[in-house]
Structure 1
Amino acid sequence: MKLTDIRDNEGATKKRMRIGRGIGSGKGKTGGRGVKGQTSRSGVRIKGFEGGQMPLYRRLPKRGFWNPFSRDLNEVNVGRVQEAVDAGKLDAAAPVTVEALVAAGICARARDGVKILGQGELTAKLVFEVAGASKNAVSAIEKAGGSVKILAQSVAEA
């Protein structure tokens, strides 16, 4: 067998319909568009138009709400921070900030800040300067001898 002999099975592929190529083609003259009217012409066509009936997208009620003041925070567990400290990626002497976590590879990007969550064990004495922390995380950090400073969010950032 040669590379030139390789081909699809008989009937596996079908030639596409070339519309508007004469009456003998079966899709000639009007090219499957019917006669006259907006849909027979090239260019803009009203999407979702139901012939004067109220369209489906307007009959259905609007759903949901987007809070413009919501914050997109990175969520980091204390156990993950401890792993970074043990691996030497995070300096235990310096305060733990968003920038430090991004530099350590714990967070991909800064977003609107970091919220510390309480899953895992923390043994290192760390000072956190973050946008938020859960009660479990605060208790775990204070139990290890560290502290948490919650950064105030300015109105301009929101």
Structure 2
Amino acid sequence: MDLSNLKPAEGATKSRQRLGRGEGSGRGAHSSTRGTKGQSSRSGSKNRPMWFEGGQMPLFRRVPKHGFNNPFSTEYAIANVGRIQILVDEGRIDADEPITPEVLESVGAVRDASLVKILGDGLLDSALDISAHAFSSSAMEKIEDAGGAATVLDENE
């Protein structure tokens, strides 16, 4: 057997139904399965886009819109100092090693290590050396009060 003699299984294919070929065909001469009257029954009727609702006001125009989506905003993956402290206490992060975005991603504290911001929610007891792309002022304060260091990385790193 090779590709030149492959065929569909018996009964797997059917010939297409031909429309408008007389009353005896079952797909008759009159409306040929299009129904009577209306835009879709006429010749030249185009398929309308997915959001066209037959002339009714479309959903995306009925729903109120609020606010503004800034196309130039920076999306950070966030981690709180309290979560980092929990990971250190559980032994999943070594407190003696520097904590980088890659380390946080590997232990599941953030999903994406490309841009990471550290926030100040929670308590921090350990003196940790944390590197991230951004820090909130409260996070920076808590890290330095615990005797650690906060290093801001360039966004390209």
**In 2, are the aligned partners of 1:77 and 1:120 still within 8 Å (CA)?**
yes
Give the secondary-structure state (helix, strand or coil) at the position aligned to 2:117: strand
Comparing 142-151 and 56-65, the one that deviates more:
56-65
Name 1:147's counterpart in structure 2: 149
The 1:82/1:58 distance shift into structure 2, 3 A limit, reads closer
The 1:117/1:60 distance shift into structure 2, 3 A limit, reads closer
Distance in 1, Cα, partners of 2:48 & 2:62: 17
Distance in 2, Cα, partners of 1:60 & 1:88: 49
CA RMSD of aligned residues (A): 3.6
The 1:43/1:122 distance shift into structure 2, 3 A limit, reads farther
The 1:45/1:38 distance shift into structure 2, 3 A limit, reads farther
Name 1:90's counterpart in structure 2: 93
**In 2, are the aligned partners of 1:116 and 1:134 still within 8 Å (CA)?**
yes
Name 2:81's counterpart in structure 1: 78
**In 1, are the aligned partners of 2:115 and 2:155 still within 8 Å (CA)?**
no
Give the secondary-structure state (helix, strand or coil) at the position aligned to 2:74: coil
Q: How many correspondences in the alignment?
A: 127
Name 1:13's counterpart in structure 2: none
Distance in 2, Cα, partners of 1:91 & 1:44: 64
Distance in 2, Cα, partners of 1:88 & 1:134: 25
What amino acid does structure 2 have at the position aligned with 1:108? Answer: R
- Superposed displacement of residue 62, structure 1: 8.0
| Ranges in structure 1 where 5+ consecutive residues have no aligned partner | 1-19
Name 1:39's counterpart in structure 2: 40
- Superposed displacement of residue 106, structure 1: 1.4
| Ranges in structure 2 where 5+ consecutive residues have no aligned partner | 1-18
- Superposed displacement of residue 67, structure 1: 3.1
TM-score (norm 2): 0.62
- Superposed displacement of residue 113, structure 1: 1.6
Report percent identity of matched pairs: 38
